Structure 1
Amino acid sequence: MKASIRLLTKRRFLPLFVTQTLGAFNDNLFRTVIVLVATYGIYSDPQIETRFSAVATGIFIIPFFLFSALAGQLADTHDKAKIIRIVKIVEIGIMLAGAIGLWVYSVPLMLVGVFAMGIHSTFFGPIKYAILPQHLQKDEVLGGTGLVEAGSYLAILSGTILAGFITSRQAGIIVLIIAVLGCYASRSIPDAKAEHDGPPLDRNIVRASYRLVSGTMHIPRLFLAICSISFFWAIGSVLIIQFPPVVKNLFYADRQVASLFLAIFSIGVAIGSLLINRLLSGNVSARYAPASVLAMGVSVLGFDRVIHNWHNLPTGRFFTVSAFIHQPDIWMVFVALLAIAVTGGMFVVPLYAFLTTTVAKDHTARTVAANNIMTSGAMVFGGFSAALANSLGASTSQILWGVAAMCCIAAWLSWRLHCSCD
């Protein structure tokens, strides 16, 4: 753990960490504000609220389908640090458009901002993992990955909490400021030039995506790692989509409590990211992945039981944060949420480390890009399935039981990965 924390004092890691953390904060603050505004300020129907949350998630993910292959090719054949700097400059323009959408209360313009941030994340995502083996020693990669994940989720935590307590006008100003700070931090990232000249860029995004995925998935342990990660993000997308409507319509709580739920989830993933690094002592291994995701499934069922037993009603329209945290057995709600997130973090971090240490350094970005294509597909499928099930009358309890079943599939895949590698 101490060795990992010491990476924060190194120029070969700290500027990337800061750039990634600021980007995660900005992205999450912007998207959370949009969802909360729609849930609490525009719509008053639980099904429409869930659908809007799913649509916002889908719009953000579509660029991963379209541009991940191009992003992976660029990152493996060009200076990764230079690409990061270009992406962060573009983020300023994206956040300006998004801020205008927040200021004039335009949902279409806000969703355009979400789509553009999806493009931003598509090009930045492969680099943030692929650059680590290039700047870090082999025994530092898992620790660096854990710190990046922990920093990301702590940034998500901060953005989530803040989203519930500020106006849309204030949010527009903040996202612009953070975009500028992220651009400045990216200028200190050391150069990370491609180690070999790659083939010419394939600008046919459909063909390039097919070749990228097929060229990666034939490696057995990469196939298993990517499938396991994909199931995790499908599970995560269903849970994140459910949280705001569940808080509003089943716990009868306001938007600050919705932010609190998402914040607790983020804290848990950050804790799990650091805890698994401590357990594995820096070794890349899927040893604890099956047990972790099974524990996640049990925690999801525990959360369903907590919802089922919740019969407290607010004196006003909604519980405020102060009133909500003083309800009987509130600790059970928070423990269930935290357990889901901690076990999820313990499950997914070693799998990302597999992606960057299994292949040659000049193929890591394309490997992460292939993973992004698969995980984005899984997230769209998870979000669409949850929205469809909700439209067909499925209860929150039935959806959560479906999530628990998905955890069992993820456990089976990660067990096969463990057996093939460890």
Structure 2
Amino acid sequence: MSTAVAEEPVAPSAAHAHPNQFALLKQRRFAPFFWTQFAGAANDNLFKFAFTVMVTYQLQVAWLPPALAGLVIGALFILPFLLFSATSGQLADKYDKRTLIRFVKWLEIGIMALATVGFFGANVPILLACTFLMGLHSTLFGPVKFAYLPQHLGERELTGGNGMVEMGTFVAILLGNVAGGLIVAVPEVGPHWVGLSCIALAVAGRLVAQWIPASPSTDPELRINWNPFTETWRNLKLAHGNLVVFRSLLGISWMWFFGAVFLSQFPSFAKEVLHGNEQVASLLLVVFSVGIGVGSLLCEMLSRRHVDIGLVPVGAIGMTVFAVDLYFAARGLPPSATLTVAQFVAVAAHWRVMADLALLSLFAGLYSVPMYALIQLRAQPTHRARIIAANNILNALFMIASSVIAGALLGAGASIPQIFLLTGIANALVAAYIFLLVPEYLLRFVAWMATHVAYRFRVHGDEHIPVAGPAVLACNHVSFVDAVLLMAASPRPIYFVMDHRIFRLPVLGWLFRLAKAIPVAPQKEDPAVYEAAFERSVQVLRNGDLLLIFPEGGITRDGQLQPFKGGIMKILERARAEGIEPPVVPMALTNLWGSFFSRIEKDGAMVRPFRRGIFNRVGLNVGPAMPAQQVQPELLHQRVAQLLA
């Protein structure tokens, strides 16, 4: 494969502005890719499920008993992820992703042609080999899939794009399973039609892939290491280099562990606990898939079209709550004869079970989509596909671990509802551990809650906040929660310069220390803190991050914009001395004066709870960035005042 490309990729820009994530389906940079991956996911599952049904119900294979068929097929499909993910990540970084996708689609056609021979001849060894090869197909496609999106979608589109892909994947899985089960059950010719259907889907995927735009190599000089073991270790070390990204990888892998526990137990749960037939098990899969899809699509709306990892703790809480409630909902169901779907849904108690599954999976969608988007946004572009490959390796290991642990618990006498309960409790512990290791998740959660529960927060002009590189944000200071609201408005972490006295407040002080806010004191009061504040501020800019200051030097006591002090000029001068010229972005918080956290009361702030009720409308207006050379306190004050007008 050549690293040369014939055309430039479709770069994300204002020209691609769209009202919502569904509009992406009308654009060439997304639609062909979406339908290509949709066809591939559907084909994977049509093939696997039809093959599983075939060896379970239609064939008598002495060396592959029905009880082991699903386990063997699943293991063969996952094995390539462990063996070849490291190599596939390198290929996706080295070569044009469009070229790789087309190659993978040609490979899929060849595999499905071989599988058709197996289906026509009821040849189980051939079909097992094709299962492994389809796992290889998915292994090659995985890093390409997630590395493709950030090359073609802007930051404001990334959450919605990932939500669409996640939704599409689970819908494709559902349709593939349903179609596979229905087609293979057709008397005499069912397996034949399965083979032909698989070829048709593979060809359709290849045809659509022809329209995928170019996605040039991000590291064309990369030398491929063909040793999967050393490269796997290297990829994991590479991912560990960015702790936020690495721990997010672990968070995603935990989600796959969590989901695998439920998905693998659906047939037994439906039969032994809910007393339903095979169609009831399929109904549970439908409910679960729909929940994931809805949760994935909600992410764009709930995050205001930004990568907002504040949704991740929301998702984790919901996953635990409804996993635990599923245990209680499934307890004490009366024994009965095997139920059809109609009989099952006629029992009121079963609706609680389905609601728990739907909401559990919905919150799993809220949990996973922002994590994927964060990894795509924060991973180094030249190594992005290899980071995704490392994630695929971890996902495979976690799913294998889930099977082993669930099997051990069942062997020890645990019931399926008890396994769900333990998984829900474990989810709470794992999530808490991850959020403590990566405080940004917790901070974003607090910001998300503040802007969706305490306030109705609207941001105008947030496209002026740089998505990369150092910048100074300058905002008016109205209340004690200004920093929390500003966190929610920015797609990137912000380092705040704040009055040292705020760190003495019981809750807010802990929160701002967690956010690594920079305390500043008057020079006469504490020269050491004063000097350290400027040094740390310049270090933030040196690191290419966002620095936010409140140029008024304190919270307003009358609701009016106060004169700006000269601290910002000292920061810019010190940065300029090091060759750093960060743009300065003026910002203005509106309608916060008079709220509980403002100093409107005679005795100060936070005196009368709910003095304006809840769901107050507050806002943030962001103006165009000013070049550092043009900034003066008076001019900056004028710009902020204009944003308040």
Pick from 8, 11, 34: which aligns with 2:28? 11
Aligned residue identity for 1:369: A
Aligned residues: 415
1:39-82, CA deviations, whole angstroms, 9 ceiling, x for partnerless residues? 66679xxxx87754444332221111111111010000101111
Pick from 249, 267, 291: which aligns with 1:268? 291
Task: Compare the two structures and name the one with the higher strand fraction.
Answer: 2
Does residue 82 of structure 1 match 2:102? no
Aligned residue identity for 1:337: L
Identity between Structure 1 and Structure 2 (%) = 34
What is the TM-score with the length of structure 1 in the denominator?
0.91
1:224-280, CA deviations, whole angstroms, 9 ceiling, x for partnerless residues? 101111111011111111111222333333322222211211111010001122111
1:128-174, CA deviations, whole angstroms, 9 ceiling, x for partnerless residues? 11011111222212211111111111212222333343325233332
**Residues 157 and 306 in structure 2, CA contact (< 8 A), matched pair in contact too:** no
Q: Distance in 2 between matches of 1:400 and 1:50?
A: 22
What is the TM-score with the length of structure 2 in the denominator?
0.61
The 3-state SS of whatever aligns with 1:202 is coil
Task: Say if 1:42 and 1:326 are closer, same or farther in 2 by CA, change over 3 A.
Answer: farther
Aligned residue identity for 2:404: F
**Residues 53 and 241 in structure 1, CA contact (< 8 A), matched pair in contact too:** no
Task: Say if 1:232 and 1:346 are closer, same or farther in 2 by CA, change over 3 A.
Answer: same
Aligned residue identity for 1:26: N
**Residues 227 and 413 in structure 1, CA contact (< 8 A), matched pair in contact too:** no
The residue number in structure 1 matching 2:41 is 24
Aligned residue identity for 1:408: A
Q: Give the drift of 1:420.
A: 3.0
Pick from 388, 405, 422: which aligns with 2:408? 388
Q: Distance in 2 between matches of 1:355 and 1:364?
A: 8
1:379-417, CA deviations, whole angstroms, 9 ceiling, x for partnerless residues? 111112222333343321232122113311342245246
Pick from 215, 222, 230: which aligns with 1:192? 215
The residue number in structure 1 matching 2:378 is 358
Task: Compare the two structures and name the one with the higher helix fraction.
Answer: 1
The residue number in structure 2 matching 1:113 is 130
Consecutive unaligned residues of structure 2, counting only runs of 5 or more, are 1-17, 445-645
Pick from 187, 205, 215: which aligns with 1:182? 205
Aligned residue identity for 2:311: Y
RMSD in angstroms over aligned alpha carbons? 2.3
Deviates more, 1:88-97 or 1:100-109: 100-109
Q: Give the drift of 1:305.
A: 2.5
Consecutive unaligned residues of structure 1, counting only runs of 5 or more, are none
Q: Distance in 1 between matches of 2:278 and 2:302?
A: 36
The residue number in structure 1 matching 2:231 is 208
The residue number in structure 2 matching 1:320 is 340
Pick from 76, 83, 88: which aligns with 1:66? 83
Q: Distance in 1 between matches of 2:117 and 2:358?
A: 35
Does residue 146 of structure 1 match 2:166? no
Q: Distance in 1 between matches of 2:344 and 2:195?
A: 29
Please give the residue correspondences for 1:237-256 in structure 2 after superposition, counting only pairs within 5 Å: 237-256=260-279
Task: Say if 1:185 and 1:292 are closer, same or farther in 2 by CA, change over 3 A.
Answer: same
Q: Give the drift of 1:13.
A: 0.7
Please say which structure displays the higher CA radius of gyration: 2
Bigger relative CO (Cα 8 Å, ≥ 6 apart)? 1
**Residues 145 and 352 in structure 1, CA contact (< 8 A), matched pair in contact too:** yes
Task: Say if 1:299 and 1:206 are closer, same or farther in 2 by CA, change over 3 A.
Answer: same
1:85-116, CA deviations, whole angstroms, 9 ceiling, x for partnerless residues? 01011111222333444444455443333222
The residue number in structure 2 matching 1:330 is 350
Task: Say if 1:296 and 1:69 are closer, same or farther in 2 by CA, change over 3 A.
Answer: same
**Residues 324 and 425 in structure 2, CA contact (< 8 A), matched pair in contact too:** no
Does residue 305 of structure 1 match 2:332? no
